[in-house]
A and B are shown apart, each in its own frame.
Chain A
């Protein structure tokens, strides 16, 4: 155990997953309650602590003290397994996302695997198991219907999830997520390519398929995390709670937090692929006007400041995208189940597929 890489990785895991991501999940719940209240012309929780900021802590205390009850009619092994399978994929996927440039010489990504995005897709597909097991093991009609609907929805939208981002990797050439970020540093964010060679028409032409890709991928992430307008599996008006009807206290908390953790991970992946990850160009006039790169590689305190700046920028972008998730939830009505499946299998699948051919064509003939 003298291996420094192991210790540093352990520190990164504890420092990011436990200190940043898990509190971020509870505060996303708080943000949802506040933002949705403001959108609905009401105030939201503002009593516990200043402006209600200690509300998640009160919620945690309440959930910990609740009686952990298992109904007698459930299948005990899968009933206990399902909430963990709902939470773990969302958290594990954060391991490959680069949330910063580097700090004290340590790259700010827990596992910089060269299969990058394939890891994300593989692990997030495991999230389906949590829901289908919860619906089946609960041994109740509402849960079963909710579980079945949710699992079919998630599997359908995994198609367009994968196909939508293939154009990016056609462009970048590597699957590694840090390489995607490095490509965006040199050539501008994929949906806002304002860095680099302005006179190259191919670059501007490629922005159109990248926007299509961004749209399809974001909508697929909405469907994967069971967020409105695709939240039929947990529609209270129709299913009395859906697949988590029979769960209480800590197991329900795990489902609830798993949904928000999946939202955060989805936002993190979208930020990495389309919004330039941790990069934020600062204008610099020394030696002619250019966009200066701020990252953690400068020596001394400037490098530390740069590294911290990158981490803050990454989480700011994730927070902005989470605001967008909440904003859309309280704007759009819910899709009917057949409309949902039709969109996933016919509409978005074809658009993503056509997008791949479009980008391949542009790259072949314009280079």
Chain B
């Protein structure tokens, strides 16, 4: 079926296209003037302006190990997070806590705890699965390094990012 498309009838001003071109030029010049005078604020000049103060609570940044208020590293090297990590970024070497130690009741601690930040996908499964509330995802997102070795966060770095966490369940108290 042949359909006839009716072309609109243009008046003489529209036919020479010049008035339309000039009004288009005026629009773009207006955009230019507004940007030049700083009236259009569209672009955030990153690293001078950041949204770190307005991050939502549920934001998933880099993982970190925490200590509790007693100063103990909460991780007991159960290796659940290493098992569930989808890209297998976590590597744990479990060690035994010596009997003479204050926290000998806990029996296990991580001798080495490495998270390869190049592999980490920030999914938060390690935080979900941890039975000790020992690993949490923090709010920093800008992880950089010059070599692949730089990008592996070892235990000391993870503890440094994590700090002390208040309000966690103190499972291994003396009285139990």
Chain A residues with a Cβ under 8 A of chain B: 35, 37-43, 46, 327-328, 330-332
Contacts and interface: CB of A to CB of B under 8 A. Distances in A.
A327 B28 contact: yes
B25 to A, nearest CB: 5
B31 interface: yes
B24 interface: yes
A74 B40 CA distance: 48
Contact of A39 (B21, B28, B45): B28
B144 to A, nearest CB: 16
Interface string B105-129: 0000000000000000000000000
A270 B21 CA distance: 21
Given A41-B31, A331-B24, 5 more contacts: A38-B31, A38-B36, A39-B32, A42-B42, A328-B25
13 contacts: A35-B32, A38-B32, A38-B36, A39-B31, A40-B31, A41-B42, A42-B43, A43-B43, A46-B45, A327-B28, A327-B32, A330-B28, A331-B24
Contacts of B25: 327-328, 331
Interface string B1-36: 000000000000000000001001101110110111
Main secondary structure of the interface of A (DSSP, over half): loop
Interface of B: 21, 24-25, 27-29, 31-32, 34-36, 40, 42-43, 45
Nearest to A40: B31
From B25, B36, B45, name the one whose CB has the most chain A CB atoms within 10 angstroms. Answer: B25
A-B interface, 3 closest residue pairs, ranked by CB to CB distance from nearest: A38-B35, A43-B43, A331-B28
Contacts of B29: 327
A332 B24 contact: yes
Contacts of B40: 41
A276 B27 CA distance: 29
A39 B28 CA distance: 6
A330 to B, nearest CB: 6
B14 to A, nearest CB: 15
B35 A41 contact: yes
Contacts of B36: 38
